Chain A
Amino acid sequence: MKKWTQREVRQGGVVSPDSIQREMTSSQSSITALDRSQLPAACIDETRLVDYALHRFYLENPWGSTGEQEAVVDDDTPLNNWKAFTYQLYTGGWTTVATTTLTAFKGGSLFAEWAGNAYVYPASTQPLLANVECVPRYVRLRLLVAGRVLVEELGPAMHEGFRIFGTGIFEQGDLPVEAQIRLTDTTYDDIIEEHSSNDPLCQAHVYSMRFLGIGRWR
């Protein structure tokens, strides 16, 4: 903590510019740069904070225009299937199904969660004729923040809800967020089409997507 009084003027002393100058500078410094030791406890409440001073929420509900993934939409599927991922159109690998931007992230801790429902067609889990182990079908899930993986999970293996979340420390800036899925790789024996019309069968879909992010800088 800074002190105000630097010296004491005494009777009979000489008044020089410095004798005033130093006193003024000292006192000025003590006022113009208050630090945490000089502020009283509990002096800040909600009304004294500017917006986003301590934290900021980022919400997407629905995430995307409808909450459905639109990265792969195959409309040739039977009507009791969704128009979504098929092996005819899905090119494999991680596929981005939703994006957002954490505008004016001040730098610090980030909590992010991605929730929704996922469907995967499990019929091809054990298709091969002999001597090959089964390959369970999953909708693998991951969240990328500023190009880095925040959280990744094996994901649903049935038609069910999911929620994945993670925390990390991120830099200041407008941070891009990507939600990605990756289906279990196909084999040549997988069931990929319907009998009578040769319509492709839906292999996966993600919908009801919503995103919540909390940035905390202090």
Chain B
Amino acid sequence: MSRINRARIVDGDDVTAASLNDRFDDFSQAGALDQFNTRDGAVDLPQLAKTGFQAPFMQVDDLGKSDLLHAAPVSDSAKGTTPGSFSVLQDGAANPTIATYTGGLSITTNDVLRVYWSLSVAAELSGTPWALGLQYNTITGTGGGGNLDVSTSAGCFAAWLQWDVTDATLTNWTEVPGQGDFQTLIGGGYYGNTLQNCGATTIIPLWSVWMRNVNNGDSSSGTTEETRDAGWRGVSGSWHYVSGFTRTIYGLRVVILGVMHPYRATTGGTNALVHDIAPAGGVSLQYTGGRLVTMVNRIK
């Protein structure tokens, strides 16, 4: 320690060579200064090296197709077979839009990987897809109105993150930790993920259906159905990850699949999001451009 702690010289003390030398030694001790010598406020922004240790890595990549006016957006049809195969976001010319990292992006146990992405999307609907398959419940009709099928409005596209942590060939894409591939049989012939395996999922809405003139929760003689397609909107996703070991990431990408719907196999079963093929013929998801931002921060 470099703190100097020696009793004062007082009247009557002998001034000797030894006593002086002891004091001089206090000032010449090896090891120099440490925390005892540095004031609490001694370290400020000028003292911090510009090595970017709080945010050592940041990269922005394009997703989808740049088309501000939505003149010719990319269209992705809902899948009519199950388990459904996802689509990778592309630029409209069948080129996948993904994030890649030169030489691989290495993260350690002290790093936080933060991923943020955005996309401009709109539902493209024909017919009444909200009234097919799992997409509705029936309410009672009284007062002149018959029983009525009312959409849950829960039908959606799911978008989620995949990464390649194998090599730079980018041929080994897998779901990021906490995220499933929506290929698991939940029950009743429906494939999907339990909700606890949707850690990197962003839900994209397709429609909203509401009822006019419902009376006491029942349909009446004047009950009508109002519907709206989910128009152009910005959707976004985010994901945070701390690795238990050093690993290298070679690529990240966003994939989509629809139409999805809530489901559980039995009463007491686990909540799941499953692929519902019944409405597929009347549903596409249009999208244009977006960004995928990759950040690495030091956790401490």
Residues of A within 8 A of B (CB): 15, 17, 20-21, 24, 27-28, 31-36, 38-46, 51-52, 54-57, 59, 61-62, 65-68, 75-76, 78-84, 113, 115, 117, 119, 121-130, 134, 157-161, 163, 188-196, 201-202, 205, 207-208, 210, 212, 214, 218
Contact = CB atoms under 8 A, between A and B. Distances in A.
A56 B297 CA distance: 10
Interface residues of B, number: 94
B224 to A, nearest CB: 10
A80 B51 contact: no
Contacts of A119: 154, 203, 262
A17 B10 contact: yes
B212 A36 contact: no
7 contacts: A17-B11, A59-B240, A117-B201, A124-B210, A125-B210, A195-B138, A212-B114
Contact of A44 (B33, B48, B298, B299): B48
Contacts of A124: 210-211, 214
Nearest to A117: B203
B54 A83 contact: no
A189 B195 contact: no
Nearest to B150: A123
Interface of B: 2-4, 8-11, 13, 15, 20, 23, 26-27, 33, 36-39, 41-44, 46-51, 53-54, 112, 114, 134-135, 137-140, 147, 150-156, 178, 188, 195-196, 198-205, 208-217, 220, 222, 226, 230, 235-242, 261-269, 271, 297-300
Contacts of B267: 75-76, 79
10 closest cross-chain pairs (CB), A and B: A66-B196, A46-B53, A161-B202, A158-B205, A127-B214, A125-B210, A45-B49, A80-B134, A195-B138, A117-B203
Given A33-B39, A51-B300, A208-B201, A46 B210 contact: no
Contacts of A192: 217
A189 B8 CA distance: 87
Contacts of A189: 214-217
A202 to B, nearest CB: 7
A81 B47 contact: no
A54 B54 contact: yes
Contact of A32 (B3, B155, B188): B3
Contact of A24 (B23, B188, B201): B23
A16 to B, nearest CB: 9
B37 A129 contact: no
B138 A33 contact: no
Contact of B210 (A57, A123, A201): A123
B9 A160 contact: no
Contacts, number: 256
B199 A17 contact: no
A126 B212 contact: yes
A28 B4 contact: yes
Given A24-B23, A158-B205, A163-B236, A55 B213 contact: no
A95 B26 CA distance: 63
Contacts of A78: 137
Contacts of B9: 17, 20-21, 24
Contacts of B20: 20
Given A34-B38, A36-B43, A123-B151, A159 B156 contact: yes
A45 B56 CA distance: 12
A126 B210 contact: yes
Contacts of B37: 31-34
Nearest to A66: B196
Contact of A39 (B38, B135, B222): B38
B263 A41 contact: no
A36 B33 contact: no
Given A121-B152, A158-B208, A52 B300 contact: yes
Contact of A46 (B51, B140, B241, B263): B51
A56 B205 contact: no
A107 B50 CA distance: 24
Given A56-B299, A67-B195, 13 more contacts: A33-B37, A35-B39, A36-B41, A36-B43, A41-B47, A44-B47, A45-B53, A61-B240, A62-B199, A115-B238, A129-B222, A194-B138, A212-B114
